[in-house]
Chain A
């Protein structure tokens, strides 16, 4: 197991390092001259030189990369290109905290629900319940998020007034305030996840139920619920862990549409605006964070998988 952890961690670091190079290279390829774009068309050549010097854009590419990576690792994430040049870090960490809140709340809603639905469907394979769950989870996956988002908003925020329609976030908010804000975007995101995770759980549960060790357990005379809880669940949920890990990455950076519908200040929407404004320091920082969290979630999932699976743990 020790060897396994070391190997996985090394792979993680290597992945993140490689992606950092890719991210850096790609941001250099964005069309247009950064200084001109940021300073405006009328900027004089000396103003542009000045800008380039201030942000180190006059140095050769590898030097820029090393500097940037070094800065990133030591917490010096640079300054934003937009007016006033505020430092990038507080901005990004705040967005990250918001995204983490939303991701956490979404998983809290989606994971238990979908696992229960998946198990329910698998245990009643081909019954009306199974069919109902399959149809609902399939159609929910198919619905575009902005449709679900807007429908939910119209009913529960604008109509019933239970939740907030837009997300005005402040430092002094209570947990209840947070829930009122997070509820609708989280439910919207959950819809997508529930579709995936339910079907995954159902499939692996059905697979597992067909295995010979379930027959052995049955022929020991164990009651069905004991067989499911003690023998099948643990093995059946292993693949689900991986799906959950992947969805963490998606929740952190991939739900721009949902963030926009609810005006939620998460990382996704900030990422989009950074791309639009060619605000490269912010763009790089956010992408790095997303990559890192994604890789970390995968690592944790792998380790958890190994921990629950003696064939890997005791390799």
Chain B
């Protein structure tokens, strides 16, 4: 076997918090072989970033390596001096960080920042180094690199910035690349392109990489080998095929089956979940760290810490019961409890919400602009959007950044006023301005937000928050007993024990806060709840419980939902009807089944193709979109998608707005290509990827 590029043995890293050393990652064994892309997955707080950066001996100022060694080039870099590390950093090990904009110096030109590395490590002159930078940018497929090196970071899009970081990291031909959540800040279509690029370049440069991520989909698509981290410890480590095909650790098994596409489009069953929350640094136990949440824990697990040992083949695992799991004697995950039976309110006729041609512009046109004769510079955030939400129905709105999905949600609940268009709630007109809406409209239409931290008042207990909302929204003045009864009822509905009533938000976990937010939204029995990215600030295992809850609530209470997300899997799992938006306009809408069938809008097709499937055997779709999403400020003419459309048919796309093509069941596609032709070409061919 080849000598590993880097190898950590018994590595532990501690943080000093409140004058105490707390263990953040513990007893890690991690080996990366040449040409390997090694995935390091974990949820927030698992210590994956600490470990990822720790592997290159980069520690926060309050951290230390308390035990173990890191072998690189035969040296133990856990012990070498910092000045020796300087000849390794940037030369033999480079980092591609999570947030490229913050990671570039805002007041230095791209070229200069890139040139620095090669001047330092390869002794190039400034001129040669700039030339090398241009080549490196060409390598990451940046058009017009001579121009780009003269730009400042903020002038580039997120995708471009990340390409610059990748080009810079590779410019000294390092042996090892550490990628720390490199695509988390990017849209899914850009992510797909960047991941392709990373895979290609790493193979080409014959480097090895450590890919740190929370996203099992991208890990499955990119990595050869995977290490799963939980509460600072390695739970399991295996080749990507083995791990996804047959997880031997209950945590891995739980994670995989809590993904929203884990039940393969079976939208009527619950997702399996991992109950409880991960322990904080101070609460790490000396027994199995997963025991509190493990569905198959036995007494031994609570008394003794399992060792990290070789399991099947050369896999590593840390579980007392891996043999039983391997033989199939136990199934190490929560069985989702049965099917969700919908009540049949769906038969009710009429719409809960109807929106007609909603538009919203942003932008200012100041006196000075007028004096200087500047053009009006508006952002058309939402344009002529019409949609309807039926009884007991979930409508999912999906789109990338700049799609206008959040603006649309805010216009519906009147957090901002639409410029034009009309709305009806339960058949009665719904004014666009908040102050014109009556109490009934307010109580029938509630919203929950992406970040529950911002939405809950930190100085109010759960009880106070819920009670106030109920009092304000109720028609009759409810008595104190009525209020507390109702609070108990909704807390139960969202799966929180009655004891939670007296807690403050800082005593709740992220998932619990989102439950409280849901309880508050549903306390006055609204007809419609708008949920804006309800799970995107949560870990996958917690996300699953919230998704289940949303389904249950709908089934039990018959409310309708509009769910907004950038995550097509979440939307697909939750929704009966899907709306796909791009640059403020609806590209396609239809029933969940129809949107996933051919013909589909070329943008939907590209979006689906870009989703990283958490299954290494299902290779990525092949459609990749060029360039970045245009700024809504300079929205393309004609079809807004024409600058990136892989099925572009000519000038007509550029100059004329496409027609809405509707089928009998209300499925709408806005494209110049007739639906039959679209279906035929989509069946036959994957469009050539234009570079």
Interface residues of A (CB under 8 A from B): 3, 6-7, 10, 211-213, 215-223, 230-231, 234-235, 308-311, 314
Contacts and interface: CB of A to CB of B under 8 A. Distances in A.
B88 interface: yes
B87 A216 contact: no
B116 interface: yes
A44 to B, nearest CB: 54
Given A218-B89, A310-B152, 13 more contacts: A6-B368, A212-B102, A215-B95, A216-B97, A217-B105, A217-B116, A218-B58, A220-B89, A221-B120, A222-B116, A223-B86, A310-B107, A314-B154
Nearest to B89: A221
Contact of B86 (A7, A221, A314): A221
Contact of A219 (B58, B99, B106, B107): B58
Contacts of B228: none
A309 B89 contact: no
B56 interface: yes
Residue from B56, B95, B116 with most neighbouring chain A CB atoms (10 Å): B116
B372 interface: yes
A231 B97 contact: no
B372 A308 contact: no
Residue from A213, A231, A311 with most neighbouring chain B CB atoms (10 Å): A213
Nearest to B112: A230
B92 to A, nearest CB: 9
Contacts of B56: 219
B86 A216 contact: no
Contacts of B97: 212, 215-216
A228 to B, nearest CB: 12
B155 A314 contact: yes
Contacts of A211: 102
Contacts of B155: 314
10 contacts: A10-B368, A215-B58, A218-B58, A221-B85, A221-B89, A222-B120, A223-B86, A231-B108, A309-B107, A314-B152
Given A235-B107, A314-B152, A219 B102 contact: no
Residue from A221, A223, A314 with most neighbouring chain B CB atoms (10 Å): A221
A204 to B, nearest CB: 14
Contacts of A311: 106, 152, 154
A273 B116 CA distance: 59
A219 B105 contact: no
Contact of A212 (B85, B88, B90, B103): B103
Nearest to B106: A311
B565 interface: no
B104 interface: yes
A104 B150 CA distance: 37
A231 B117 CA distance: 14
Chain B's interface size range is 20 to 34
Contact of A221 (B88, B102, B107, B152): B88
A57 to B, nearest CB: 37
Given A212-B97, A311-B152, A311-B154, A220 B120 contact: yes
Contacts of B152: 310-311, 314
B105 A213 contact: yes
A84 to B, nearest CB: 48
Contact of B90 (A213, A220, A310, A314): A220
B91 interface: yes
Residue from A220, A222, A231 with most neighbouring chain B CB atoms (10 Å): A220
Contacts of A219: 56, 58, 89-90, 94-95
Interface string B29-66: 00000000000000000000000000010100000000
B86 A222 contact: yes
A309 B153 CA distance: 12
B668 to A, nearest CB: 40
B99 A212 contact: yes
Contact of B106 (A217, A221, A223, A310): A310
Contacts of B86: 221-223
B60 to A, nearest CB: 10
Contacts of B94: 219
Given A218-B89, A219-B94, A213 B102 contact: yes
A211 B87 CA distance: 22
B310 to A, nearest CB: 33
B139 interface: no
B103 to A, nearest CB: 4
Interface string B152-164: 1011000000000
B410 interface: no
Nearest to A235: B107
Contact of A213 (B104, B120, B372): B104
Interface in B359-377: 368, 372
Given A311-B154, A314-B155, A220 B105 contact: no
Contacts of B104: 213, 216
A309 B106 CA distance: 8
B121 interface: yes
A3 B117 contact: no
Contacts of B106: 213, 235, 309-311
A216 B164 CA distance: 13
Interface in B133-153: 152
B126 to A, nearest CB: 13
B162 to A, nearest CB: 13
Contacts of B95: 215-216, 219
A308 B105 CA distance: 13
B107 A234 contact: yes
Nearest to B91: A221
A205 to B, nearest CB: 15
B608 to A, nearest CB: 33
